[in-house]
């Protein structure tokens, strides 16, 4: 059967063989993000030194969209300043609303493949989970694990 869904190779590869799905040492930001209605759950950890994200990782459960999106996000933001990460996050969230330029789309690199989610209202929450969690961390300094059962 032809693969005519938006689950292309980049997305499925990030889901099945994620680069950043593990624990890291020395993280100074750790925050859990949950979508209670569908059970997506990630714990995002970032190591920020002198305003630069020097390392990052996540653990969690959920659909391919939520997990791959977090993985692609980390690919993009590790090595960047907090400010740049937030700017890219803003572009990503606007992409999901269908409000970005071609240049901005390119800046998102692989994460740009989730553009089609803008036509899939039921999956928006999955795609933005990691990004929202990162924003809350970097913008509001929020940390913590809620300890929900994940149900």
Q: Which of 58, 95, 111, 123 binds other proteins (CB under 8 A)?
A: 123
Cβ closest to other proteins, residue 2 vs residue 145 = 2
Q: For every residue of 70-136, which 3-state class applies, written as one string?
A: HHHHHHHHCCCEHHHHHHHHHHHHHHHCCCCCHHHHHHCHHHHHHHHHHHCHHHHHHHHHHHHHHHH
How many residues bind other proteins, per CB under 8 A?
26
Chain residues 81-110 in contact with other proteins, contact rule CB under 8 A: none
* Minimum distance, C-beta of residue 94 to other proteins, in the bound complex (Å): 22
Chain residues 1-20 in contact with other proteins, contact rule CB under 8 A: 1, 3-7, 9, 12-13, 15-16
- Closest alpha carbon to 33 in 122, 108, 149, 131: 131
CA angle 46, 50, 52 (to 5 degrees): 50
- Using CB under 8 A, list all residues that contact other proteins: 1, 3-7, 9, 12-13, 15-16, 37-39, 61-65, 120, 122-123, 126, 149-151
């Amino acid at each position: 059967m032809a693969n005519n869904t938006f689950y292309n190779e980049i997305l499925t590869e990030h889901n099945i063989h994620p680069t950043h799905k593990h624990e890291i040492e020395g993280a100074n930001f750790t925050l859990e993000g949950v979508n209670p209605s569908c059970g997506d759950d990630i714990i995002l950890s970032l190591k920020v030194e002198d305003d630069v994200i020097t390392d990052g990782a996540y653990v969690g459960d959920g659909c391919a969209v939520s997990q791959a999106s977090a993985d692609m996000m980390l690919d993009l933001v590790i090595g960047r300043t907090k400010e740049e990460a937030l700017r890219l996050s803003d572009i990503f969230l606007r992409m999901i609303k269908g409000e970005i330029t071609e240049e901005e789309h390119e800046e998102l690199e692989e994460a740009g493949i989730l553009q089609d989610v803008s036509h899939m209202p039921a999956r928006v929450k999955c795609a933005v989970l990691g990004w929202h969690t990162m924003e809350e961390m970097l913008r509001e300094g929020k940390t913590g694990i809620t300890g929900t059962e994940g149900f």
